[in-house]
Amino acid sequence: MHHTIGNLALSLILALSAPFASATVLTFDDIVGPDGYASVPANYGGLDWSNSGMSVFTSESSPFTAHSGQGRITADWTDGGPSASTIRFLAPTIFSGAWFSGYNDSSVRFDLYFAGQLVASSASLLLSESPAFLGAGWNSAIDTIIVSSGAQGAYVMDDLSFERVAQVPEPGSLALMLAGFGLAGAVRLRRPKN
């Protein structure tokens, strides 16, 4: 009997926690274009990149060292001035940060938005050829990040890390689900033993 209750409790815990596990790291290694250069697809990794102006490249190029694999992204090299690339999450998200490398006379930072309002800005990261992690510095939900740098083409970004905020069931749905598990457990406990 104790074994059955333990199995039921474990099943309940797994069922309730499954929707909450959704950490993601985008490596950009699966985007390959001609000559090792391609635009980031508009919906890559379940994010909206359509206004980012970012491209992926996979060829070796100093000081643009990848943190992992070969793929990394950068702002397009159009006018050489300051760059601000917008990346939108399709649902509220906890953004951890990303790895950067690039020209050592440049820096990058994140501006974090939720519902159109600036909620935080990261520290600025001075770039070098050795990849370094720039943390978001914010542990609440956001829906947009803007990657800012003093010059386009001065950096590459790799291993973008985030975790989608779990959709918590409404109290009525949760109560109904728990009642169903309780009923299933009660029926199982009342079965006659052979």
Q: Is residue 17 included in any domain, yes or no?
A: no
pLDDT at 34: 79
pLDDT at 187: 57
Q: Is residue 104 included in any domain, yes or no?
A: yes
pLDDT at 18: 42
pLDDT at 192: 64
Looking up tokens 């990303």, which residue turns up? 98
First-last CA distance in the chain: 13
Q: Is residue 145 included in any domain, yes or no?
A: yes
Find the domain containing 115 and state its range: 22-164
Q: Is residue 193 included in any domain, yes or no?
A: no
Q: Is residue 121 included in any domain, yes or no?
A: yes
How many structural domains comprise the chain?
1
Closest CA to 106 of 148, 69, 150: 150
Q: Is residue 189 included in any domain, yes or no?
A: no
On the question of pLDDT at 88 being above 90, the answer is yes
Q: Is residue 110 included in any domain, yes or no?
A: yes
CATH code of the domain in which 37 resides:
2.60.120.1350
Q: Is residue 186 included in any domain, yes or no?
A: no
Mean confidence (pLDDT) of the chain: 82
Please write the tens of the pLDDT for every residue from 11-52: 444 344 444 546 899 999 999 887 778 889 999 999 999 989
On the question of pLDDT at 7 being above 60, the answer is no
Phi/psi zone of residue 66: left (φ > 0), alpha (ψ -120 to 50 degrees), beta?
beta
